[in-house]
Amino acid sequence: MTAEELAAQAREEQSAQRTRREAELADEKEDAARQLEEEFEAMESLEQRTRRLREKREALRLAVAQSKAQDAVLPDVEPVPSDDEDSDEEDDDWDAWRFRAA
């Protein structure tokens, strides 16, 4: 082989190596872009989940606040004594009474 042929062959090899490197770089760029897209999709789904959980938390907070407000609004009603309760009190008075045997 002559020097010219060797130089031509070296140029072809360099060109082939350059082409392979460019193809590898393009593949790496595509992989990186795909990974970024997947990460963004994962972030979006997490953000949606976070938003839903915040909405649920707020709904629960409002429900608890409303139930507390309803409890505070209702006045404490004293029970009205019935006749049965009066008779129980009278029975309690007689429980202390002892009959003596005559």
Evaluate if residue 85 carries a pLDDT over 90: no
Evaluate if residue 87 carries a pLDDT over 60: no
5-27 pLDDT, tens digit each: 888 999 999 999 999 999 999 99
The per-residue pLDDT for 55 is 98
pTM of the model as a whole: 0.47
Angle CA 83–92–95, to nearest 5: 140
The amino acid present at 83, given as its one-letter code, is D
DSSP type of residue 18:
H
The per-residue pLDDT for 74 is 59
Evaluate if residue 79 carries a pLDDT over 80: no
Cα–Cα distance measured from residue 32 to residue 36, given in angstroms and rounded to the nearest whole number: 6
The per-residue pLDDT for 37 is 97
The amino acid present at 7, given as its one-letter code, is A
26-67 pLDDT, tens digit each: 999 999 999 999 999 999 999 999 999 999 999 999 999 998
Grouping H, G, I as helix, E, B as strand and the rest as coil, residue 14 is helix
> What are the extents of the domains in the chain?
16-70
